[in-house]
Amino acid sequence: MNTVVPRLISGVFAGITGLAVLEMLRLKGSTLVQQPSLATILAACGVMGTLVGIVGCLMPRRYWKILLSNGQQFYSALALPRPMVNHWAGSLLLSGSLVVYFIVLMNILPQQPPPDNNDQASFLMQAKAVQEAGGPVTLAQQLMAGEYSEANQHPLYVALLSYFPNYETGKRLSAMCGLCALLIFTMGIARCYGNLVGGLTGILLSINAAYCQLTARVVCEGLLLIFVAALWLMVLRIPDFRKPSRLPSLLLIGIGLTLGLAWLTKGTALLLMLGLVLWLCSYTVNWNRCIPAILQQQPTDDSMTGENQTKHTTVPLKRVVIGVALVIGSFTVIAAPLLIRNVRVYGSPTFNANSYLLFEDEFSEPHALIKERGSLRNAAQNYWQSHTISEMIKREVKGLLWQIFIFLRSLGPLPFGEGRLFFGLLALPFLIVGLMSESGPSRRLYLICMLLFCLAFAWYLPIAAGERFLIPLLLPSLAFVSLGLVRTGQLLLVRRSG
């Protein structure tokens, strides 16, 4: 049995946790020991993780064989089709989550930072300018004519905010968007997995600090989450592409239209678009050749459905090309006003002023960078010539460590601060179990998008860091955590009864 892959994974884990400990030592120094805190506990966990990774690299082959065999049995048990769990407690949680979210928002809305030299101020300023110019209809006309030059805040949220461009009403608009996203997503998850999974997802979202804070401010994330919720629910309905069935054309068109609305709201949606395209293209590759045989789930007579049991390992290129064309075509139709404006004013259909910050070592005013650097290509060439390869690798690796920290922290609830990280660490095993339990295409898309977002915003770390960059992945993450909790409970009940 080949144990190279698990040993490499152990080595990577040891390296990541070791670098995390070094970063904490750089930031805290001797105070980690002299003044014990949450960072001290986290550093201790990092040291233990490093030791576990080193042991995994050096562990004899016979022990790896036992571990992988037990892991394969556990994975096979999780991946077996199980009935949806519809329970009265799930219905209670679904209803309770909406009430809890409403109560939480009523408490934190007055506590939000004022619109003073931040994103809230920028959105309110743009919304006021749009209102004075004639409103959303005039904004659409200006976009098509290339007369609207704002290249940072995308226009859809600005257009909605222009009906009432004041701070208090804007916060309520974001809160309503957050409530709609919560309702749409939890009801959709309940329909796919049962009301218990949907109810748990709703409760986790209604008390989640990142979700509640971002949907209580005058920023576009609340509106974006509505489209993200719709996108993931459509993905959950898509059958496995490797099965010889009709191409889900309507769903793919709906995904493209939703992505277009998301991009009109926030530029981050382009990463979701790239993830969708890579996801579709990934079905042309036979990934089973890259996975050790012992890690591959063997099909059984009782389980011949799902991603791991399909006879066809790849999808014809023609089918994938048609799928990509449907997504991109429908995206282009809905996003046409901004695409046309970008081409006319900036010469690139996907232009965003913040793109220039990718080639800076600290924050600078984006519009000033446009005048100073010229084209984005010139900015990239200037950065490449002024930095060494080792400096760029260091920037990415350091950013990845922080993105992992930020993501785990984003899974935690109110009212905790940095202590939310430990709730994220507790949720992580259930997230993994939920991903193992899901056999449909959504798992692959989630992993691809997670990789893209972490890599992209790891590089962006010197400019800005925060949970709002990873917010599109929060909804599916908490849904998988909830699924993992329910599947773990089902597995324990089966073993107890057996």
398-430 exposure pattern, b = at least 16 Cβ within 10 A, e = fewer:
bbbbbbbbbbbbbbbbbeeeeebbbbbeebbeb
Classify residue 27: in a domain, yes or no. Answer: no
pLDDT given at position 483: 94
**Residue 225: domain span:** 60-351+388-497
Burial of 73 (0-12, 13-18, 19+ CB in 10 A): exposed
Are 275 and 445 a contacting pair, CB within 8 Å?
yes
Please state, in angstroms and as integers, the Cα–Cα distance from residue 56 to each residue in 2, 63, 69, 209, 426, following that order: 14, 10, 15, 35, 22
**CA atoms of 20 and 401, how far apart (whole Å):** 6
* DSSP for residue 59: S
pLDDT given at position 2: 67
Would you list the DSSP string of 266-333?
-TTHHHHHHHHHHHHHGGGS-GGGGS-GGGSPPPBTTB--STTT-S--S--HHHHHHHHHHHHHHHHH
User: How many domains are contained in the chain?
Assistant: 1
Q: What is the pTM of this model?
A: 0.88
The Cβ-side half-sphere exposure at 396, using a 13 Å CA radius, reads: 12
pLDDT given at position 305: 42
pLDDT given at position 301: 44
Residue 401, token pair as written in the block: 């460590």
CB within 8 Å of 342: residues ≥ 6 apart: 151, 348, 349, 350, 351
Classify residue 356: in a domain, yes or no. Answer: no
Please state, in angstroms and as integers, the Cα–Cα distance from residue 386 to each residue in 170, 244, 379, following that order: 43, 52, 11
pLDDT given at position 191: 92
Q: Which uninterrupted H or E stretch holds 221?
A: helix 221-237
pLDDT given at position 1: 56
Classify residue 48: in a domain, yes or no. Answer: no
pLDDT given at position 295: 44
First to last CA, the chain: 31
* DSSP for residue 367: H
**CA atoms of 247 and 324, how far apart (whole Å):** 11
Classify residue 44: in a domain, yes or no. Answer: no
pLDDT given at position 116: 86
Classify residue 337: in a domain, yes or no. Answer: yes
- Which pLDDT tens digit goes with each residue over 301-319? 444 444 444 445 778 888 8
pLDDT given at position 141: 92
pLDDT given at position 498: 58
472-488 exposure pattern, b = at least 16 Cβ within 10 A, e = fewer:
bbbbbbbbbbbbbbbbb
Classify residue 46: in a domain, yes or no. Answer: no
Q: Which residues of the chain have pLDDT under 50?
A: 294-295, 297-311
Classify residue 283: in a domain, yes or no. Answer: yes
Please state, in angstroms and as integers, the Cα–Cα distance from residue 156 to each residue in 257, 346, 424, following that order: 14, 19, 32
**CA atoms of 361 and 364, how far apart (whole Å):** 9
**CA atoms of 84 and 356, how far apart (whole Å):** 47
- Which pLDDT tens digit goes with each residue over 60-118? 888 888 888 877 777 777 777 777 788 888 889 999 999 999 999 999 999 888 888 88
Residue 478, token pair as written in the block: 């908490």
pLDDT given at position 259: 95
Classify residue 25: in a domain, yes or no. Answer: no
